[in-house]
Amino acid sequence: MTEVLLPSPRGPLSAALVAVLRGSDSGLPPLPDRVDPYGDDLQLALYVLYELHYLGFDDVPDDREWDSGLLALRTRLEDRFLGALRADVPIGASVTAAQAMEELQLEPVGEVDGSLSHFLRDHGTLDQFREYAALRSLYHLKEADPHAWVIPRLRGRAKAAMVAVEFDEFGAGRADEIHARLFADLMTDLDLETSYGHYLDAAPVEALATVNLMSLFGLHRALRGALVGQFATVEITSSPASRRLAEALRRLGAGPAAVRFYTEHVEADAVHEQVVRHEVVAGLLADEPHLEADVVFGIRTTGHLEDRLAVRLLDAWRNGRTALRTPRITPTAPGTHGP
């Protein structure tokens, strides 16, 4: 099994955090007043702190997960991130969850400037798809884990339906069918390194933010409605996007394991969409109607951050540049893939 190690810092805040996690007694610095809530330094620090609640890092003791100083820092970073999201994604009182979900189903017609899946289907190169897969691995190698945190915070219909969808995401009892495993198979097919967190240093900040959003919502009971909204967005938009990505891989001559990941999502998420809309979201709001604005917030903030990521990637690709922070990824050597 490949070690999961702390990433390279991206500024003074993340540098101080990494040093403390490696055993330095220098202490954590105060949060600067002007730190960019969407910037590399804050988002990487937040990502590292969240990762302590997942698989953690081999060079960090497990008991640091609940270190009071680290939790206090995480709270300050979350406040900045959440404050920026609330300012940038205001939710009108008249917008309902049903309306917000209907907006997600509006499929564009013809050439689409801001859609990653349309670009990759119609114009993307194999190298660009490999970059896309490398960045998405930050989530897909732990697919559905952030959403599992909401289960004990739901009741009745919403809980039962959420568990049903998660059961599918985790392979319906079969380890080789876990969606994270299927994505690792896709990465192997594309000659990418499959070890957990391998591409963290390469990922632009916009990719970190999309994953941090799930962790933020999942780890806070007060944001359970937003987590449900975020999950609904994933399931509603997944099937059509996955169809386009499968078409892109076929056009590029990718192998069957790569194509299978997306074809599996075309079928599974078409079903999941109905369950999430009519049981998870509707069940939650029947039980706790005051959370409707939070559900809408989860939907809209997911779109906001995904749009930022699309702009970053498409700008790079259309101008002949890599979308990664590091040089273009090279194929892995035989035998170097993770488990």
Render pLDDT for 255-277 as a digit per residue (tens, 0 to 9). 999 999 999 888 777 788 899 99
Average pLDDT over residues 244-248: 97
Structure confidence at residue 106 as a pLDDT band (50, 70, 90): confident
In this predicted structure, what is the pLDDT of residue 336?
A: 44
Structure confidence at residue 292 as a pLDDT band (50, 70, 90): very high
Specify the 3-state DSSP secondary structure of 213. helix
Report residue 160 CA to chain centroid gap.
23
Report residue 261 CA to chain centroid gap.
16
Mean pLDDT score of the chain: 93
In this predicted structure, what is the pLDDT of residue 1?
A: 63
Domain ranges of the chain: 12-88, 97-318
Average pLDDT over residues 176-193: 97
In this predicted structure, what is the pLDDT of residue 109?
A: 52
Structure confidence at residue 335 as a pLDDT band (50, 70, 90): very low
Number of helical (H) and strand (E) elements in the chain, helices listed first: 14, 0
In this predicted structure, what is the pLDDT of residue 283?
A: 98
Under 8 Å CB-to-CB from 305, ≥6 apart: which residues? 206, 209, 210, 213
- Measured CA to CA, the distance from residue 42 to residue 146 in angstroms comes to 20
Radius of gyration for the alpha carbons in the chain, expressed in angstroms and rounded: 19
Residue 131 has pLDDT above 50, yes or no: yes
- Its pTM stands at 0.94
Nearest to 81 by CA among 51, 44, 128, 121: 44
Average pLDDT over residues 311-319: 97
In this predicted structure, what is the pLDDT of residue 72?
A: 95
Specify the 3-state DSSP secondary structure of 83. helix
Give the architecture (CATH level 2) of 97-318. Answer: Up-down Bundle (1.20)
Tokens standing for 198? 């391998």
In this predicted structure, what is the pLDDT of residue 108?
A: 58
Under 8 Å CB-to-CB from 219, ≥6 apart: which residues? 50, 53, 149
Question: Contact, 4 vs 38, CB < 8 A?
Answer: no
In this predicted structure, what is the pLDDT of residue 338?
A: 42
Under 8 Å CB-to-CB from 180, ≥6 apart: which residues? 140, 141, 142, 143, 144
Tokens standing for 113? 């400037």
Average pLDDT over residues 147-163: 97
Tokens standing for 145? 């884990």
In this predicted structure, what is the pLDDT of residue 271?
A: 83
Which DSSP state fits 329?
A: P
